[in-house]
Amino acid sequence: MRVLLLGSGGREHALAWKLAQSPRLGWLLSAPGNPGMAALGMVEPGLDILDPEAVARFARDRGVDLVVVGPEAPLVAGVADAVLAAGIPVFGPSAAAARLEASKAFTKALCDEAGIPTAAWARFDALAPALAHVRRCGAPIVVKADGLAAGKGVTVAATLAEAEAALEALFASPGAGVVIEECLAGEEVSFFVLAHGTDAVPLLAAQDHKRLGEGDTGPNTGGMGAYAPAAVFTPALAAETMERIIRPTLATMAARGTPFSGVLFAGLMLTAEGPKLVEYNVRFGDPECQALMLLLESDLLSLLHATATGHLAGAEVLWKPGKAIAVVVAARGYPGAPAAGGEISGLEGCGATVFHAGTRRERGRLVAAGGRVLTVGTHAPTLAQAAQQAYAAIERISFADACFRRDIGWRELAREAGGRSA
């Protein structure tokens, strides 16, 4: 099978790494790709992956059998629609189904319609009624931009003053819409499900670490590290989530004539009242995907093709035993203004699987060229072992501007340690 993979982050390098292991792969072409993906196949840095017609034409001209879309932006732009219209199977939902990620208000309304457990909410188009609403509800309260914000348009306000400041900042841009939500308490997990129409095959739950600083402090980022599987998400919670959240969502989308196809990423809060939906994404998580790919035993290409072509029924997904960790190495200054140009070396033989994100080749040297630069991943019988190996590998990598969290997986590490002493 000839595969075109869209994207250039650590998530896409991990997908490329796993696809490259498939006995069914003919060739892999990544666009725009990154230096890590270039080592696994061809790359086409010049393709505009946000231009649906350009992607469809390119895929047809190259005789591609499957297009795999990594990030959300091409999906929201309608790339999957154009590729399908060209008669080529595509892993990733239509623009209509990608609204599950693109519009928080869309998803909240769908939750209300289908009776899906989620935080109480209200949407506002103007500052004054939004301010009145948060003053009525009090803190803690959550303020979100209604649109794609790569996880960065959300303020979990501990005080009323913080909520008011967030609203004022959001309404400073013209045409803004805001969703205000009840603040949910509990542990958060990222749960992934392959779906086509109403067919659904659960993958695993991972836990991401969105804050920049250790102990979950500092600004929100795209994600600083993840591990999987998350033991806190028990088989019973997975079954409950499938019945109360995932299946009603898929059924409602299908009944509306906008069926979902691809990977549905449910951000869940495990509250005292059971799992509640925080948000949907219509793609794999980054860095959750890196941890998942390190654990996946089954053939990824077969799973993605079965999802794209509606042959998911009866699909079985096998996982390696143990735990995987994926630690993000960012450039100093991320998520604000990351330092660029720092040289990176020592990736070969560092003792981990290293996925590239913001890297570039410059006259033969590998240099940092983005916020999240690398993901360092390992897989071991326990999370403690995986973490020890990943951090030892990071020590062997030379990258002067590196910034990373040393406490990825802290909740699960505490559970593992507790389990041993019990």
Q: According to the binding rule CB under 6 A, does residue 402 interact with ligand AMP?
A: no
Identify what 154 binds: ligand AMP, ligand GLY, none; CB under 5 to 8 Å per kind: ligand AMP
177-196 binders of ligand AMP (CB under 6 A): 181-184, 188
Enumerate residues 6+ apart whose C-beta is below 8 A from 239: none
Q: According to the binding rule CB under 6 A, does residue 288 interact with ligand GLY?
A: yes
Q: Answer yes or no: are the C-beta atoms of 371 and 335 closer than 8 Å.
A: yes
Q: According to the binding rule CB under 6 A, does residue 154 interact with ligand AMP?
A: yes
Q: According to the binding rule CB under 6 A, does residue 286 interact with ligand GLY?
A: yes
Instruction: Break the chain down into helix, strand, coil percent, rounded to 5.
Output: 35, 30, 35
CB-count burial class (<10 Å; 0-12, 13-18, 19+) for 115:
exposed
- In the complex with ligand AMP, the residue whose CB is nearer, 88 or 206, is 206
In whole angstroms, the minimum distance from the beta carbon of 117 to ligand AMP comes to 12
Q: Answer yes or no: are the C-beta atoms of 283 and 92 closer than 8 Å.
A: yes
Provide the angle, in degrees to the nearest 10, between the axes of the packed helices 247-255 and 104-114.
100
- In the complex with ligand GLY, the residue whose CB is nearer, 304 or 366, is 304
Identify what 181 binds: ligand GLY, ligand AMP, none; CB under 5 to 8 Å per kind: ligand AMP
Query: Which has the closest alpha carbon to 322: 384, 375, 238?
Result: 384
- In the complex with ligand AMP, the residue whose CB is nearer, 183 or 380, is 183
Q: Which stretch binds ligand AMP (CB under 6 A): 23-31, 41-49, 176-184, 335-343?
A: 176-184
Place of tokens 């071991």: 380
Instruction: Give CA–CA dist 234/186, Å, rounded.
Output: 15
Q: According to the binding rule CB under 6 A, does residue 378 interact with ligand GLY?
A: no
Identify what 119 binds: ligand GLY, ligand AMP, none; CB under 5 to 8 Å per kind: ligand AMP
Task: Name the strand (E) or helix (H) holding 290.
Answer: helix 288-295
Instruction: Give CA–CA dist 79/59, Å, rounded.
Output: 11
- Token pair recorded at residue 181: 């939500």
Residue with the shortest CB distance to ligand GLY: 223
Q: According to the binding rule CB under 6 A, does residue 208 interact with ligand GLY?
A: yes
Residues that bind ligand AMP (CB under 6 A): 119, 142, 144, 151, 154, 156, 181-184, 188, 210, 267, 278-279
Q: Name the residues that contact ligand GLY, by CB under 6 A.
A: 151, 208, 222-223, 281, 285-286, 288
